[in-house]
Chains A and B, each alone.
Chain A
Amino acid sequence: SAVISQKPSRDICQRGTSLTIQCQVDSQVTMMFWYRQQPGQSLTLIATANQGSEATYESGFVIDKFPISRPNLTFSTLTVSNMSPEDSSIYLCSVVEGVEQYFGPGTRLTVT
């Protein structure tokens, strides 16, 4: 299975600032997803990031707030822009390998 790492693992940020989360995969994958998860709750899909195309955002998420880069088949970044306390959450990247989906360890973001 794919091994996924994320940086940073956690951060505490001030409102109004931006944070870029990196996701690195140990193999080349076409499909990558970014999720948000409140602690103890289910996952909410932010966007699908396929290499070579623009990211596709889910309802309620926009590119200006959550810009995504996917420069190659092993790497992606998600930026949380102009943060507010409501953005405090766990952010997870995920890749599809075969029919299964694998997840990174997550980035725990706290906005003060």
Chain B
Amino acid sequence: AQSVAQPEDQVNVAEGNPLTVKCTYSVSGNPYLFWYVQYPNRGLQFLLKYITGDNLVKGSYGFEAEFNKSQTSFHLKKPSALVSDSALYFCAVRDGSNYQLIWGAGTKLIIKP
């Protein structure tokens, strides 16, 4: 069965420090992986995706994510956190043959000044 795990309900990081939000997945075919961000009282915004190619993908707002096939992970990273990065982050996956996304539970990222 296809699934996505975000093992941390909440991640706390000091402003200026690097951040990592973890995501692992299970999918039967080739994975299409996505990160979305949701700011308070806002809709979901697409951050970045991995379909194929370079394992390190760069996205919006300085975020990047690394696809690791052997560990079935797609962790979201940013070298230097901003207070404005505080939001709810969702990892999602689908296989190439199906447009329906499987969603993680979400990780609340709190950046403290």
Contacts from A to B (Cβ < 8 Å): 1, 31, 33, 40-43, 45, 48, 92, 94, 96, 99-106
Contact = CB atoms under 8 A, between A and B. Distances in A.
Given A96-B99, A101-B101, A42 B106 contact: yes
Contact of A41 (B42, B99, B106): B106
Contacts of A48: 100
Interface residues of B, number: 20
A1 B51 contact: no
A92 B36 CA distance: 14
Interface string B10-44: 00000000000000000000001010100000111
Contacts of B57: none
B43 A41 contact: no
A42 B99 contact: no
B46 A101 contact: yes
Interface of A is mostly: strand
B43 A106 contact: yes
B51 A105 contact: no
Interface of B: 32, 34, 36, 42-46, 49, 51, 88, 90, 99-101, 103-106, 108
A103 B99 contact: no
Contact of A40 (B42, B49, B88): B88
Given A40-B108, A45-B100, 8 more contacts: A31-B99, A43-B44, A43-B103, A48-B100, A92-B43, A92-B44, A99-B49, A101-B101
